[in-house]
Structure 1
Amino acid sequence: MDVLVELNRLVACSDGRLGTFVRQVCARTVGLPALPAEVSAGVSDADPAVAEFAEQFSVDVSMISDAQRERLREALGDRAFGAVVQMFIGDFVPRVRAGLAAVGVEVAWPDSIAWDHPGNAADALFNGFMPAVARLRSLDPVTSEVVRLRGAAQHNCRLCKSLRETTALDAGGSESLYDEIERFEGSGLLSEAQKAALRYVDALIWTPAHIDAEVAAGVRRYFTDEQAIELTLDVMRNAGNKIAVSLAADAPRVAEGTERYLLDANGQTVFG
């Protein structure tokens, strides 16, 4: 799958000691093996502030404080945004690998990595990986939107919570359905497959190192391997909101209510 090529491209984007350091911190924080790194992590004056930010980014991004943001910017200056992108890669690619392993989908991860210098991770993420995931179409659009909105709520992304995808609305999505996502276990509107997907979303976000066997079995029960890959990568794509939330850049586009958008055939977000 081309999208897995894009995922592996993220891993290859190198940022030297800083990239290595945040990969180790993020993975350790959630109890997963760290991504491969090009160099051994060194210790620098910036490490305490970066480590604190990376740990909170991984545990619960919605709880990052203004003081933590300020300390990160003081430590890294104009490298702060790039460091947060590296945190996202180091935080979420291990979750994807753990999730696919838990649901029994075999993926051949590369044994060796051709490191990308200087490694424009933001370009690889926003212009390569994310559109590639958005182009996938094996999941029905309502399930994809339910999954997106669950992640938006878990990370408390104000922007994401204010958006509604048009194709999903046209396919049967509605506010009454979406209102039940918060307490989905007791929902009479969400399907059993959608509930299984939501349990998996929660596991990837909160307990990626300990995905319950019943949660994994639910994914296998209702979704094909292709759909399970898309579901897992959807969670990661949606979790890109952690970058905006962590930097307090997640303000909604509308003051009240919600705004429609369309994921077009090229995987691009179109408003209007």
Structure 2
Amino acid sequence: MRIIRYGGFPASCALSVRTPPKLLDRVNEHAWRTAEPALLELMRLRVACLIGNRAGEAARSPAARTGDLSEAKIDDLPAYSTSTHFSPVERECLAFAEQFVMDVSGMTTAALDVLAHQLGRTELSDFVGALYAIEFTQRLQMVAQVLLAPVVEAAAAPAPTSAVADTAKSEPHLDLSMRKVLATYQDAVVRGQALDSVTTELVRLRCARTHRCRICQTLRLADAQAELCLDITKWSTQKINVALRTYGADRLPTNKAGVSFFGFDDAGRVAGFWAN
């Protein structure tokens, strides 16, 4: 088995802490502080199996090694729903992760309520954000192995002196919630300029149809420029809103065709919505 870090992009991508790959590393570092490492490692391994990430299945998190996550328990992961190795919380989280990865639009209010009871209502949003980071970092790594070469072997797991911790010390006024850290990454992706707006919009709409996100299917991008692979991870954060039922499409101004338009400001944030 290999021990890997859960960001780990090719060196050619790691330009600065403000670039999307570096910011995605920060998202992951933050994600692994939202719940018990052993629980998140179970999520990661189950996601790896579902999306066919064989390298991810073979890897192990050093942070999770300090807990009670044994190889026997990992071997029993496919039978988590009935295995005595797994607690009720782990079973609910794994079931949620499977639904999130395979068909997020099929998430039910009852499933959300059960998970909120297990984790706590205030912790639910951060957990879903962490699950999103675990899934789409793996997907992006799989694509990077094919499209970006040479790929440098991933380093060790996040160190205690991580970018998140350093930022918290140097800029204590910042909101470092999972939602805020993800938003910073999303804004950076939108500021990319390598793709034309038509290609970007096709990527966004395909993600919207895949996840059946009502608000994203209603919207049409008036002007956008972003990187193709990173676009997929940016727009797929809609899965979090679909899972939590917080997309709010009914509040959008729409034209006769049921479409609403939107654009971005120079910072990469949504500048508003309009019907015509």
TM value normalised by structure 2: 0.69
SS at match of 1:260: strand
- SS of the residue aligned with 1:142? helix
Structure 2: gaps of 5 or more residues = 1-14, 70-85, 166-175
Letter in 2 for 1:268: R
- CA distances 1:116-139 after superposition (whole Å, capped 9, x unpaired): 57874332211x211111110100
Q: Which residue in 2 is equivalent to 1:83? A: 127
3-state DSSP of counterpart to 1:267:
coil
CA contact 1:53–1:68 (8 Å) conserved in 2? yes
Question: Are the aligned partners of 1:27 and 1:90 in contact in 2 as well (CA < 8 Å)?
Answer: no
Deviation readout 1:62-85 (Å, 9 max, x if unpaired):
111222112111211122111101
Moved more, 6-15 or 49-58: 6-15
Given that residues 253 and 260 in structure 2 are in contact (C-alpha distance below 8 angstroms), is that contact kept between their aligned partners in structure 1?
Answer: no
TM-score by length of 1: 0.70
Whole-angstrom CA distance in 1 between matches of 2:239 and 2:51: 15
Query: RMSD of the TM alignment (CA)?
Result: 2.5
Give me the whole-angstrom Cα distance separating, in 2, the residues matched to 1:3 and 1:245.
23
- Tell me how far apart the structure 2 counterparts of residues 6 and 89 of structure 1 sit (CA, whole Å): 11
- 1:133 corresponds in structure 2 to 189
Q: Which residue matches 1:26?
A: 47
2:267 corresponds to which residue?
A: 266
Question: Aligned equivalents of 1:36 and 1:120: distance in 2?
Answer: 26
Q: Is contact 1:131–1:268 with CA below 8 Å preserved after alignment?
A: yes
How far apart, in 2, do the equivalents of 1:88 and 1:76 lie?
A: 17
- In terms of mean alpha carbon deviation, does 74-83 or 145-154 score higher? 74-83
Q: 1:103 aligns with which of 142, 147, 161?
A: 147
Instruction: For structure 1, list consecutive stretches of 5 or more residues without a partner in the other structure.
Output: 172-226
User: Matched residue of 1:90: which SS?
Assistant: helix
Amino acid at match of 2:138: P
Is it true that 1:155 corresponds to 2:196 in the alignment?
no
Shift of 1:47: 0.8
Cα deviation, 1:229-253, whole Å, max 9, x if unaligned, reads x211100100000000011112313
2:111 corresponds to: 68
What secondary structure, in the 3-state scheme, does the structure 1 residue paired with 2:159 have? coil
* CA drift at 1:22: 2.3
1:114 to 152, 159, 165: 159
Where do 1:172-211 residues align within 5 Å?
Answer: none
Q: Say whether the 8 Å CA contact 1:19–1:83 is kept in structure 2.
A: no
Letter in 1 for 2:97: A
Letter in 1 for 2:48: A
- Deviation sequence 1:156-199 (CA, Å, 0-9, x none): 0001111111115xx9xxxxxxxxxxxxxxxxxxxxxxxxxxxx
Residues in 2 aligned to 1:19 and 1:100: alpha-carbon distance in whole angstroms: 23
Shift of 1:255: 6.6
**Is 1:49 aligned to 2:92, yes or no?**
yes
- Which whole-Å CA distance do the structure 1 matches of 2:260 and 2:243 have between them? 22
Q: Distance in 1 between matches of 2:270 and 2:153?
A: 29
Residues 141, 81 of structure 1: CA spacing in aligned structure 2 closer, same or farther, 3 A cutoff? same
Deviation per CA, 1:96-146: give whole Å up to 9, x if none: 0101212344454651322557874332211x2111111101000111011
Partner of 1:46, secondary structure, is helix
Partner of 2:240: 243
Structure 1 CA distance for aligned equivalents of residues 115 and 47 of structure 2: 15
Judge conservation of contact 1:82–1:121 (CA < 8 Å) in 2: yes
Deviations 1:10-39 (A, max 9, x none): 222223334333222322222211686322
Aligned residues: 212
- Secondary structure of 2:223's match? helix
Task: Provide the residue aligned with 1:124 in structure 2.
Answer: 181
